[in-house]
A and B are shown apart, each in its own frame.
Chain A
Amino acid sequence: DAEITQSPRHKITETGRQVTLACHQTWNHNNMFWYRQDLGHGLRLIHYSYGVHDTNKGEVSDGYSVSRSNTEDLPLTLESAASSQTSVYFCASSEGTAYGYTFGSGTRLTVV
């Protein structure tokens, strides 16, 4: 069965370190998204991609970057981790505008 997987499930890192969160989907969806979920703020869009080599900034993109070298993967990189980036990160994919989203199980990131 097709799926969307995120790794790692949990990560603790130190302030200032570079961190990369992985997202891999086997749905063959062109559209992929990264969200963060925080108490009091709900889910907010970080970056998104409509296809290979396409990337776009979302609502809260400062301090994050993504790259899309193939259809299946959209890794999220925190260039220099900050305590404000402690959050739960969700990756999602979609076949297109008329279709729903499928979400991964999330990565809980703690920056100490």
Chain B
Amino acid sequence: KQEVTQIPAALSVPEGENLVLNCSFTDSAIYNLQWFRQDPGKGLTSLLLIQSSQREQTSGRLNASLDKSSGRSTLYIAASQPGDSATYLCAVNDNAGNMLTFGGGTRLMVKP
């Protein structure tokens, strides 16, 4: 059974810092990995989707990398802003059949 772990569970940084969120998964036979953002009391917003054949994806200040063989992904946020404060979730879509398995999330707070 696929297991997804996100470290750290919570992170507090001053505005302007570059930061890295980590995601690891136990079964490397995945189709893709997706990073989401969730604001308190809200739904999930897709940030980046990385296919298993890709090494990284970029969107603005966000860069996600994927090392499938080692079961790891990182989300890099450049020049963090208070508006980046949210919970970040990673989820893997594996050979079990187009279903996502989620990590527990990293709760990020960016202080002005």
Which residues of A approach B to under 8 Å, CB–CB? 31, 33, 42-43, 45, 48, 50, 58, 90, 92, 94, 96-106
Contacts and interface: CB of A to CB of B under 8 A. Distances in A.
Interface residues of A: mostly helix, strand, loop or mixed?
A: strand
Contacts of B61: none
Given A42-B105, A45-B99, A58-B99, A101 B89 contact: no
Given A98-B32, A98-B51, A100-B49, A42 B104 contact: yes
A90 B31 CA distance: 22
B10 interface: no
Interface in B52-102: 89, 91, 93, 98-100, 102
B98 A94 contact: yes
Interface in B3-53: 31-32, 34, 36, 42-46, 49, 51
B102 A42 contact: yes
Contacts, number: 50
For the residues of B in contact with A, the DSSP-based class is: strand
Given A31-B98, A97-B32, 12 more contacts: A42-B102, A42-B105, A43-B89, A43-B102, A48-B99, A96-B98, A100-B32, A100-B34, A100-B46, A101-B46, A103-B43, A103-B45
A42 B103 CA distance: 7
A31 B102 CA distance: 18
Interface of B: 31-32, 34, 36, 42-46, 49, 51, 89, 91, 93, 98-100, 102-105
A106 B43 contact: yes
Contacts of A102: 46
Nearest to B101: A45
